[in-house]
A and B are shown apart, each in its own frame.
Chain A
Amino acid sequence: MTITYVDNNATTRVAPEVYQAMGPYFTDDYFNPSSMYEPAKRIARAIAESRQRIARLFGLHDDREILFTGCATESDNAAIFGAARANPHRRHIITTTVEHPAVLDVCKDFERNGYDVTFLGVDRNGNLDIGEFVRALRPDTLLVTIMHANNETGVVFPIEQLSRLTKETDPTILFHTDATQSVGKAPLDLPRQFPHVDMLSFSGHKFHAPKGVGGLYVKRGTPCRPLLIGGHQEDGRRAGTENVPYIVGMACAMQVAADCYDDEDTRVRRLRDRLETAIEAQVPYVIVNGKDAPRLPNTLSICCYSVEGEAILAMLDSDGICASSGSACTSGSLEASHVLRAMKVPVHAAHGSVRFSFSRYNTDQDVDRIVEAFPAVIANLRKISPLWDSQKNEPRISERVVA
């Protein structure tokens, strides 16, 4: 069976040109870039070129502002721990309730260790209240860490506005953004678009580089101590021998992604929009999450009343469609997705969430196949759901079904 892969916010396939670019660094060019001999210096130059390439794509003149890490989770941890260790007199962090766990759980851990953390909520569309944000800023605020685009819903936060307000209030408050879902999907010129952002995390495998490599932008002069200590690599700011082939791969992938930004914003957006329109037309009682908010062009998150997300995924899977869900049963946490709960999606619908996320490798045929399969999947699961009234064809709403 052919696979319809629409889970690109989870990970993406490695682009063929990326795979090819990485090849030599596994076979002939295996040297440690820190070694002294000529072949090793060639490797060091490959890393330097990759760093320059990425810096240039971010509009940066100083390529030392880019650090290579193992993944975006490491980048987020490095930013938050680094900021806290470099500024021990400040004990207040501002974040949101819809962050990725790589930020949210780190902030919760800081809270356990005596820090004061403000978790900003969102409205039904997934938007922040700017007034609430302003009121949260304090004289002892150490760090603001707010994601750029949400991984589950694709809702984009106004990072430029939030970072400007932060810096105009107090230039010593650090501003970090987790841009894992947006980097590689749209052009991002940091000095022009995000002049007030101090740190920004990104991850290679979200834009067709392999898993296992990420990056952290740290603006020159930002007080931030290293997370990994024990080596001079990355100017001592991230110790550990460089993952050479993956770094080369990520730089290549970012270049290719940059050439495809138009495609992402036009063709990929149309795929998403077509699927959204078709599902809304053919399936009753669905909610499109973040419909009225600015969203990534590739992400469609929907909630279906009276059915459970994991069962939806299992049935789509049996049709060869790979998607994901923020439902309790897929996360292992037993509660519906924290993002959807923060958006106050009704519980009857929040458990039935499905996320379709496209990439430049998706086609119209992929959308056709989902449109063909999806309404029947929901109809079948509703037929067997005690929370669905098949006669009236509407949800049977009761808060508790316990005997």
Chain B
Amino acid sequence: MGWEYSEKTKQLFLDAVHGKPGTHLGEIEDPDGLGEHGSVACGDAIRFTFRVRRHPDDPTKDVITTARYLTFGCTSAIAASEALCTIIEQTERTPIEALKITNNDIVQFLEGLPRQKVHCSVMGAEALEAAVFNWAQKRGVDLARLGVTLHTADQEEGRIVCKCFSLSEPYIRRKIKELNLHTVAEITGAIKAGGACASCHHAPGGLQDLLDETWGNRDLKLKVLPELPLVEPVQAAAPPSERVVDSPYQFSKKIEAAINEHVRPMLQCDGGDVEIIDIKDTVVYCRLQGVCKGCASAQQTLRMLIEQTLKDRVDERIRVIGV
């Protein structure tokens, strides 16, 4: 599947990777705020740090002066990280004001993102939120009292709906509302949920159910498929009892004993050996080893020596197949 990135996205990516002046990759030592988001399993991860100009009296008036990121991810993940830092630095915001930056601002800055890549912009916004939370802790700012609610924690709590990317129900519910997602495909595009094994799409309590509960059930339930015609059960050629009197265990033991007593010593004399790979019904799968492997008369060894020995000593219906 291919897609087109905007020129702006491509340019930001190349500038960042080549470390052009004015780009923001890196990590601030001893930062005022640090946030991480994503995981290796998801295929992208960001570590976001910022420094503030501290206000002497009121920490809520700190202004972010420098923002840096390290990003593992694709073209758009790196470009989105670059966009986030640029927006923050250009607009001289306090950390709390910075929270107003949404993934939509990032998408706009990038002049659009392909649908499958929207989650890259969400990742940046999540890392920012985590970093602001970190800053608030360090500076003793009580965000809750200021009426700022942070959601970073719900990623870790609650029932996991998307097991592949460990995304929880509260997180997905919040994102459905925040990002105005209406279909499973939109959810996957925005936050990856359901993007791998797809088993959570229509499972009970899965993505479709969460959508229906959020937006009201609009008769989107899957139609019931017609019953498949029944297929006749497989008939074995004959019941096993008529073919082999021994139990499979006893039968296998006999074969093993016959090979150990009558076949193996002969092969070992010549520096070879044989391994039993499997026994199915009356078919014995063997692999010749040592010098026997690749020997010109391997087929004859199998037929004349092993198969004949087993026919004579265990059961005349035995067939030997060389592996």
Contacts and interface: CB of A to CB of B under 8 A. Distances in A.
Interface in B150-176: 152, 155-156, 164-165
Contacts of A114: 228, 231
A54 interface: no
A351 B280 CA distance: 41
Contacts of B283: 169
B44 interface: yes
Contacts of B72: 306-308, 351, 385-388
Interface centre among B43, B133, B228, B234, by most chain A C-beta atoms within 10 angstroms, is: B43
A308 B77 contact: yes
Interface stretch (A57-65, A88-96, A290-298): A88-96
A331 B280 CA distance: 41
A383 to B, nearest CB: 7
B271 interface: no
A131 B277 contact: yes
A400 interface: yes
Contact of A311 (B75, B164, B192, B231): B75
A348 B40 contact: yes
Contacts of B287: 130
B14 interface: yes
Interface string B126-138: 0100100110000
B39 interface: yes
A353 to B, nearest CB: 11
Interface string B257-298: 000000000000000000001101001010100000000000
A36 interface: no
In terms of DSSP, what is the predominant structure of the interface of chain B? mixed
A336 B195 CA distance: 11
Which of B133, B165, B278 gathers the greatest number of chain A CB atoms within 10 Å?
Answer: B278
A328 interface: yes
A131 B278 contact: yes
Given A137-B280, A385-B72, A318 B14 contact: yes
Interface string B63-89: 000000111111101100000000000
B37 A311 contact: no
Contact of A401 (B10, B18, B40): B40
Contacts of B19: 380, 383
B321 A169 contact: yes
A334 B38 contact: no
B277 A134 contact: yes
Of the four ranges (under 10, 10 to 19, 20 to 34, 35 or more), the interface on chain A belongs to 35 or more
A401 B74 contact: no
A336 B43 contact: yes
A165 interface: yes
A307 B44 CA distance: 9
A402 interface: yes
Interface hub of A330, A335, A381, A403 (most chain B Cβ within 10 A):
A403
Interface in B14-61: 14, 16-19, 25-26, 35-47
Nearest to A403: B130
Most buried by A among B116, B133, B156: B116
Candidate in B40, B285, B323 with the most chain A CB atoms within 10 angstroms: B40
Given A306-B72, A401-B47, A403-B36, A381 B130 contact: no
A333 B197 CA distance: 9
A195 interface: no
B232 A139 contact: no
Interface of A: 88-91, 113-114, 130-131, 134-135, 137, 139-140, 161, 165, 168-169, 306-311, 314-315, 318, 327-336, 347-348, 351, 380-381, 383-388, 398-403
Given A335-B197, A384-B26, 13 more contacts: A134-B278, A134-B285, A308-B73, A310-B75, A315-B17, A334-B42, A334-B43, A335-B195, A351-B72, A386-B45, A386-B47, A402-B39, A402-B155
